[in-house]
Amino acid sequence: MIDDKERILLLLKERWIKGEISKERYEEMKAELLAGIKVEKKELIAEPFDEQETVQGVGLGSVLLGRYEIEMEIGRGGMGVVYKAKDIKLDIDVAIKILREDLARDGRAIRNLKEEARIAMGLSHPHIMRLHTFDEDGHRKFLVMEYIKGETLKDRLEREGKLKESEVIALSAQICDGLDYAHREKVIHRDIKPSNVMVTERGEVKILDFGIARVAADSMTRITGQATSGTLVYMSPEQIRGKDVDLRSDIYALGIMLYELLTGNPPFSGVTIEHQHLHETPEPMGDVSPRLNEIVLKCLEKGKDQRFQSAEEMKAVLEGRLELDSERAAREAEEKRRRDEALRREAEEKARREEDAWEERRRRGAAERENRKEEKRSESIFVETRGESELKKNWALTDARSIQEQGGSVFFGRIAEIKKEEDNRFRRLIGDMAKQRLGH
């Protein structure tokens, strides 16, 4: 017994949407669940369709169109059963997906599938599974694909719980490569998820089911009348709203897948999953570097314009060749800080130079003024010392002292004049000053 109501409801809803149970059975079980009646675990285990429906008379050793010899079953999904087969004509291994009967009978789905297959067959890239053809043998309709020896990321997750950051980065870069090529060819995958990405033994990524995976889900949408379809876990807000799907919807699904690869769980789950895709911000991933967190969360932006605008851009960021928004903002802020600092230093330097120049001018002006004053003073001594008045002699003496204190050299030529004076004391003083000045 499982008693996690939310999880059970989601599982049931997914089974209904995938066409594994009828809408009536889904409603019935939902009502039972909500009424408190526990659901048997076996009801929740995906058994896509019964043997009769699935195999359509195909068994091991069957040869389709006299060319494809079925060797073994390798997987089952919403569209049908996948077999490993031998292309007898070319002697190569191929994978054959035989469509489940109800899908094979849905004329509109088949027309869509043929159209998608025709486009997908034109894709040729090392990271994209090659689709050889879409064909039919009697009532059996099937896709012939490149056989990939490896493991899906879904299998890896089941085996290992979660993947190492370095490996996720390496795988993402290859996925981006394949996506970017297809997007340039105007093909959108529309169903990126771990079961649609395989990794070969050599660590090479192969994206499966380009463009075709949604056909079955869309056929189911028409049958059930539901606006949304397929695996809700990886569905972008615009896909949920059923409008304007473009390459950035693949980027969103890739973001969900990377989140799951890194943490072991997708960011959104439970019965309110659609509401979460539309309105809730995913929790940042613990144990994951801030840079990779930002990359993944950028993929998961609700608005397409806020996501990476191409897989190429995302790859460049993953490989560190391009900055993230936060890194660009930090770099620009740092550049601005440096520019401001340089401007500030330049302004300071200029102010200092101006101050120095001003100081120099002031100093020169003062010196000139002083010189002029000194000259004037010496004149005054010369004139005054010839005078008779005691008072005037004292003034001259004071002047002479101050000039001497300032290093004046104005007396030498004037001593002769002073000598003529009758005042011996004054003459002596002036003489002393002159000697002192001359260093005697």
Binding site for Mg ion (CB under 5 A): 196, 208-209
> Is there binding between residue 21 and ligand ATP (CB under 6 A)?
no
Q: Which is nearer to ligand ATP, 195 or 404 (by Cβ)?
A: 195
Q: With binding defined as CB under 6 A, does residue 97 bind ligand ATP?
A: yes
Task: Decide which of Mg ion, ligand ATP, none touches 56; Cβ closer than 5 to 8 Å per partner kind.
Answer: none
Is 156 a binding residue for ligand ATP by CB under 6 A? The answer is no
Determine the distance from the C-alpha atom of residue 160 to the mean position of all C-alpha atoms in its chain, rounded to a whole number.
26
**Number of residues assigned to the chain:** 440
Site residue total, ligand ATP (CB under 6 A): 21
Identify which of residues 135 and 294 has a Cβ nearer to ligand ATP in the complex.
135
Question: How far is it, in rounded angstroms, from Cα 105 to Cα 49?
Answer: 15
Residue 15 touches ligand ATP, criterion: CB under 6 A: no
Segment contacting ligand ATP (CB under 6 A): 63-71, 140-148, 344-352, 371-379?
Answer: 140-148
**Burial class for 294, CB neighbours closer than 10 Å (0-12, 13-18, 19+):** middle
95 binds, among Mg ion, ligand ATP, none (CB under 5 to 8 A by kind): ligand ATP
Q: Judged by CB under 6 A, which of 129, 220, 251, 433 binds ligand ATP?
A: 129
Q: Which of 172, 196, 239, 404 binds ligand ATP (CB under 6 A)?
A: 196
- Taking CA atoms, 95 is separated from 140, 145, 152, 158, in Å, by 15, 5, 14, 22
Q: Which H/E stretch holds residue 417?
A: helix 415-419
Identified binder of ligand ATP from the candidate list 7, 63, 71, 75, rule CB under 6 A: 75
Nearest residue to ligand ATP, using CB? 77
Q: Give the rounded distance of the alpha carbon of 255 from its chain centre.
A: 11
What is the rounded distance in angstroms from the CA atom of residue 314 to the CA atom of residue 179? Answer: 11
Q: Tell me which of 104, 109, 148, 257 binds ligand ATP, using CB under 6 A.
A: 148
| CA geometry: angle 424, 427, 432, nearest 5 deg | 125
List, in sequence order, every beta strand (DSSP E) within 11-88: 63-64, 68-76, 80-87
| Catalytic annotation present for 209 | no
144 strand-pairing partners: 96, 133
Amino acid at 327: E
Among the listed residues 106, 137, 180, 191, the single catalytic one is 191
42: number of Cβ within 10 Å:
7
- Which range of residues in 33-41, 188-196, 338-346, 380-388 is near ligand ATP by CB under 6 A? 188-196
Query: How many angstroms separate the CA atoms of 13 and 102, rounded?
Result: 19
Asked if 73 interacts with ligand ATP (CB under 6 A), we say no
Cβ(421)–Cβ(385) below 8 Å: yes
155 by Cβ neighbours in 10 Å (0-12 / 13-18 / 19+) ranks as middle
Query: Residue 236, interface with ligand ATP (CB under 6 A)?
Result: no
353 Cβ neighbours under 8 A, 6+ residues apart = none
Q: Which residues contact 248 (CB under 8 A, 6 or more apart)?
A: 236, 304, 307, 308, 309
258-297 mask for ligand ATP (x: CB under 6 A)?
Answer: ----------------------------------------
What's the min distance (Å) between Cβ of 317 and ligand ATP?
28
CB 33, min distance to ligand ATP, A:
23
Mind telling me the catalytic residues?
Answer: 191
| Residues contributing to the site for ligand ATP (CB under 6 A) | 74-79, 82, 95, 97, 129, 145-148, 152, 191, 195-196, 208-209, 213
